[in-house]
Amino acid sequence: AQTVTQSQPEMSVQEAETVTLSCTYDTSESNYYLFWYKQPPSRQMILVIRQEAYKQQNATENRFSVNFQKAAKSFSLKISDSQLGDTAMYFCAFMKGAQKLVFGQGTRLTINP
Amino acid sequence: EADIYQTPRYLVIGTGKKITLECSQTMGHDKMYWYQQDPGMELHLIHYSYGVNSTEKGDLSSESTVSRIRTEHFPLTLESARPSHTSQYLCASSWGIVGTEAFFGQGTRLTVV
């Protein structure tokens, strides 16, 4: 079974700083998908960024980018120029094919003014 | 925002009562999921469905049951609520296509007293 591990339960940075959230996963598959989801306080979970394992290029979405290291089974999220609105729980998730999502434990990120 | 709705948002109910948490989506998605989110915010898959009349138990054992009679509707029922069922319940849906993102509802916070 696939597992996803987020080793940082909580992180806190100052506004405008850059922060990196870590995620590792375990799978024997060669093709799969990785996601970062964001859950703001009392609001819906939303997708931040997605990476397809067969693509070597790291995905980017505005201030959000990933460092995907397939051999190391690592998928970290970098948030540049962090903003107060980035305060949220962040979940790393894994999907093989069209099967169910497997989530990590989450990282609580606080952006301080 | 995603077109997936959960009702009620908050529910306080006595032990032994039967409850149904509603989840509806208007996107025509094949796949639907129920997650239980514990106080530490970790997500546990309790039920999922790949389409009408298809339901499967998730990774976390749950006393709840689900049904999928219509594509858009995926209710979760507890026949006899107990304090151990107190939690946040999140519903999600996605297309049954490889690697597609899941859309989440706002959640139902259930408290059993």
**pLDDT value for B1:** 55
Confidence of residue B109 (pLDDT cuts 50, 70, 90): very high
CA proximity to A79, closest of A18, A24, A11, A12: A18
Question: Which residues of A fall within a CB distance of 8 Å from B99?
Answer: 33, 50, 52, 95, 97-98
Q: CB distance from B96 to chain A under 8 Å?
A: yes
**pLDDT value for A11:** 97
The string of pLDDT tens digits covering residues B66-101 is 999 999 999 999 999 999 999 999 999 998 777 888
Burial zone of A95 (CB within 10 Å; 0-12 exposed, 13-18 middle, 19+ buried): buried
Whether B106 shows a pLDDT value over 90: the answer reads yes
- What φ, ψ does residue B83 adopt, rounded to 5°? -55, -30
**pLDDT value for A29:** 84
Question: Which residues of B fall within a CB distance of 8 Å from A105?
Answer: 40-42
- The CA distance from B46 to A74, in Å, is 26
Mean pLDDT in residue range B25-34: 94
Confidence of residue B6 (pLDDT cuts 50, 70, 90): very high
Question: Which residues of A fall within a CB distance of 8 Å from B40?
Answer: 105-106
The string of pLDDT tens digits covering residues B43-58 is 999 999 999 999 999 8
Average pLDDT score, chain A = 93
